[in-house]
């Protein structure tokens, strides 16, 4: 590796400053140039190895440069790359058939695009076509995209750059039990946050909003897992008012939570589901899927040049095969349990960890001061020290104070112990 001449972190930062729009920030005070990936490991330009516990933000569920997937993608790249779906190729219909199989309930017909933003926007367009109503309810602290509408339905100020968002969007309080926006306690709240959606519909809308959209687990909000029964109640309310329930599985999908899709943890089937990231394991592919009854109302022309491209569809098919054949859902469930148990043990020893939450391998540890206020600087120091020790761990949260574990789902028991031990050492060294 050392013979290769790399730009190096400083060289990249210099070019970034000159040629990339400044909105794009990078993690770490002392960032590394990542040059190679192999399953759960990444390597930098100096040859240091890292255990990747963030998977490129929930993308590399099957691991970096997974040989089985790479082989199928490479074969497709050398056979046929692109003709656009105005011509017939077979991979995208095979992938759509497979998605109908692995998604819950009667979700059946897909539309393929390339990014999560397009998938959520597309899902909202379909809801508007089907219901004839463009009013939307979203959740505070949700994140759904970077495009005009995607940003407008995003409930995190940090990502709402546009001062003139689309109208007709209302935000309900999010199901964040650790810091309940309604100041309730989980055992006595009677799902007040879900009930607030009904209040919103009755007061702030025409009475029949077209869509309610939410992430099953709010990722950027800081791995906010809703209480049991939340989505069931939300679905009841949506059905009552003729509002379609759209789940954004962009971060939670494809085995991450121990189920193929996170919403399945609560036995709920959405009316439309948006997905992206891990579907391609690094190849740009996204989709939204709906039952035939809803999907069949989308009859006016709609196409995406690269949507369902032969190469990205091959990647999607290879990913779904790999998840099933290698039991990644089972591993996500078991390793997630191990990780959260370990984090809870660390929380007893290190008061900086105020809350541990998650499902499968979508887990967060919220860093707080003694008074419960967010501790983002302490978190940054810990992340930096973990990097030096060879561990890449993510961060999210409205206050950027949640340590985020979203590793490749092939991560081993030993790996989890390694990262827990490293975290313990760092927290002890930093007297947290
Ligand atoms: C839940 C969720 N939805 C949508 C998006 C937008 O996806 P993309 O960046 O691929 O447009 C993201 C991005 O991180 C996300 O986390």
Q: Are residues 167 and 217 in the same domain?
A: yes
Q: Does 219 contact ligand 1 (Cβ within 6 A)?
A: yes
Choose one of 325, 359, 374: the last residue of a domain. 325
* pLDDT band of 400, cuts 50, 70, 90: very high
List, for residues 277-295, the tens digit of each pLDDT value: 999 999 999 999 999 999 9
List, for residues 56-115, the tens digit of each pLDDT value: 999 999 999 999 999 999 999 999 999 998 899 999 999 999 999 999 999 999 999 999
Of 263, 277, 284, 402, the one to substitute when testing ligand 1's pocket (max ligand atoms within 8 A of C-beta) is 277
Q: Does 146 contact ligand 1 (Cβ within 6 A)?
A: yes
Q: Are residues 29 and 149 in the same domain?
A: no
Query: Residue 118 CA: which ligand 1 atom is closest?
Result: 11
Cα 144 to ligand 1 centroid, rounded to whole Å: 5
Give the pLDDT score at 310. 97
* Whole-number Å distance between alpha carbons of 339 and 180: 24
Give the pLDDT score at 399. 98
Q: Which of 43, 38, 110, 41 is nearest to 69 (CA)?
A: 38
Cα 117 to ligand 1 centroid, rounded to whole Å: 6
Q: Does 250 contact ligand 1 (Cβ within 6 A)?
A: yes
Q: Does 108 contact ligand 1 (Cβ within 6 A)?
A: no
Give the pLDDT score at 45. 97
Domain-embedded: residue 2: no
Q: Are residues 119 and 238 in the same domain?
A: yes
Cα 231 to ligand 1 centroid, rounded to whole Å: 21
pLDDT of 143 over the 80 cut: yes
pLDDT of 51 over the 60 cut: yes
Query: Residue 57 CA: which ligand 1 atom is closest?
Result: 14
Q: What is the mean pLDDT of residues 305-315?
A: 96
Q: Does 233 contact ligand 1 (Cβ within 6 A)?
A: no
Q: What is the distance of C-alpha 23 from the center of its chain?
A: 21
Q: What is the extent of the structural domain holding 397?
A: 8-62+327-429
pLDDT of 337 over the 80 cut: yes
Q: Are residues 166 and 283 in the same domain?
A: yes
Choose one of 293, 308, 325: the last residue of a domain. 325
Mean pLDDT of the chain: 97
CATH number of the domain enclosing 36:
3.90.1150.10
Cα 79 to ligand 1 centroid, rounded to whole Å: 30
Total domains in the chain come to 2
Give the pLDDT score at 212. 98
Cα 138 to ligand 1 centroid, rounded to whole Å: 15
* pLDDT band of 3, cuts 50, 70, 90: low
The residue nearest atom 7 of ligand 1, judged by CA position, is 116
Q: Are residues 319 and 390 in the same domain?
A: no
* pLDDT band of 127, cuts 50, 70, 90: very high
Cα 214 to ligand 1 centroid, rounded to whole Å: 12
pTM > 0.95: yes or no: yes
Domain-embedded: residue 141: yes
């Amino acid at each position: 590796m050392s013979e290769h001449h790399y730009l190096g972190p400083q060289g990249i930062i210099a070019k970034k400053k000159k040629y990339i729009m400044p909105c794009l920030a990078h993690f770490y005070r002392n960032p590394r140039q990542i040059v190679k990936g192999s399953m759960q490991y990444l390597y930098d330009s100096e040859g240091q190895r890292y255990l990747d516990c963030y998977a490129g933000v929930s993308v590399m569920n099957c691991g970096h440069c997974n040989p089985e997937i790479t082989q199928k993608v490479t074969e497709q790249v050398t056979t046929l790359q692109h003709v656009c779906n105005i011509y017939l190729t077979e991979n995208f219909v095979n992938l759509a058939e497979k998605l109908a199989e692995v998604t819950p309930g009667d979700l059946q017909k897909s539309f393929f695009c390339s990014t999560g933003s397009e998938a959520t926007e597309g899902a909202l367009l379909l809801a508007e076509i089907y219901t004839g109503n463009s009013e939307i309810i979203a959740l505070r602290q949700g994140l759904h995209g970077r495009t005009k509408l995607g940003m407008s339905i995003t409930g995190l100020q940090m990502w709402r750059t546009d001062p003139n968002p689309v109208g007709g969007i209302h935000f309900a309080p999010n199901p964040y039990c650790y810091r309940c926006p309604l100041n309730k306690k989980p055992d006595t709240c009677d799902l007040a946050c879900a009930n607030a959606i009904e209040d919103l519909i009755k007061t702030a809308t025409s009475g029949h909003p077209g869509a309610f959209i939410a992430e099953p687990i709010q990722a950027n909000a800081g791995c906010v897992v809703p209480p049991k029964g939340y989505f069931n109640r939300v679905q009841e309310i949506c059905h009552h008012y003729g509002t379609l329930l759209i789940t954004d599985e962009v971060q939670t999908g494809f085995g991450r939570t121990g189920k193929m899709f996170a919403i399945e943890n609560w036995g709920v089937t959405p009316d439309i589901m948006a997905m992206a990231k891990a579907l391609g394991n690094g190849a740009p592919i996204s989709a939204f899927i709906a039952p035939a009854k809803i999907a069949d109302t989308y009859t006016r022309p709609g196409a995406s040049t690269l949507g369902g491209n032969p190469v990205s569809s091959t990647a999607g098919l290879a990913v779904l095969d790999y998840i099933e054949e290698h039991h990644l859902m089972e591993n996500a469930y078991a390793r997630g349990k191990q990780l959260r148990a370990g984090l809870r043990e660390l929380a007893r020893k290190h008061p900086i960890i105020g809350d541990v939450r998650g499902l499968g391998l979508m887990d967060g540890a919220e860093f707080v001061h003694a008074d419960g206020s967010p501790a983002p600087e302490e978190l940054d120091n810990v992340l930096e020290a973990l990097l030096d020790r060879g561990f890449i761990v993510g961060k999210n949260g409205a206050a950027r104070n949640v340590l985020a574990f979203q590793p490749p789902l092939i991560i081993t028991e030993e790996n989890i112990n390694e990262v827990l031990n490293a975290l313990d050492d760092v927290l002890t060294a930093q007297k947290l």
